[in-house]
Amino acid sequence: MDQTTGEIVDFYTGYDEAGRLDRRASFQLERIRTRELLEQHLPPAPASILDVGGGPGTYARPLLAAGYRVRLVDLVPAHVAQARAGQPPVDAVVGDARALPADDHSWDATLLLGPLYHLLDRADRLRALREAARVTRPGGVVLAAAISRFAGPLDFAATGRFTSDRLYAEAEQILATGHNHPGLGFTHAYFHRVSELAGEFREAGLPGVTVHGIEGPAWPAADAAAGTPNERVVLDGALALARLYSTEADVLAASAHLMAVAITPGGR
């Protein structure tokens, strides 16, 4: 394990990932829209799903409840332990998205809902996508999440953090390189441009990719309205706009997260 990977594992070992999606309005949008996109694009239950980077089982458990067969693979041993210990327990193993512990064409669908934004090198992201394509049957589906290149500055706007020169420097660095510095409350991460994410899918042998904006263009407003009398109204409106603009090319990058979807070649 290299130093960067070790730091990512250390970060998540001490981080409450299981409770993250309840902490902010934008995180609630992320959860709702991710589950809707899974419902939209996954084959019907009881299809088999390999949930790579599935954390403590955030999406694996609802999929199990819906009748899917699920196995979770995560780099963080603490996440695997949480996934196994929860109810219902998830079949979970420690593993790396770049070298999946699975046979060729052995799953109906593969999810990468975290690994791509923790793989800083393009070559590693392509390896992960090629692995996902390898283990997914022909005509199956690969879904992968990424963080938008513009999520950082939009988050600064949502939370009103305009008082630090360091934040501006961080925004400038992310814009230029896509690399997030781990000193601002998050670990090492890569932030994608929409065209770049689609291009990585195609280069990995996953053509016909569709990219969705997960939270939509109004997620900063939902965060800014938290704790006000308009909180629920703004959240509901942001959710409606996220659904409406899900694949609208001109506003995709305004979402905090992107979801790329492709059918693996060779199916009927």
pLDDT in tens, 209-268: 999 999 999 999 998 898 899 999 999 999 999 999 999 999 999 999 999 999 999 866
From residue 235, give the alpha-carbon distance in Å to each of 24, 219, 224, 231. Answer: 11, 8, 10, 6
Q: Residue 42 and residue 59: Cα distance in Å, rounded?
A: 13
Stretch 139-153: mean pLDDT: 94
Identify the pLDDT of residue 231. 92
Q: Which residues of 89-163 form beta strands (DSSP E)?
A: 91-94, 107-112, 136-148
pTM: 0.93
Residue 238 CB-half CA count within 13 A:
31
Closest CA to 48 of 33, 34, 59, 64: 64
The answer to whether residue 4 scores a pLDDT higher than 70 is yes
Instruction: State the pairing for strand pair 107-112/91-94.
Output: unpaired
Domains recognised in the chain with CATH numbers: 3-263 (3.40.50.150)
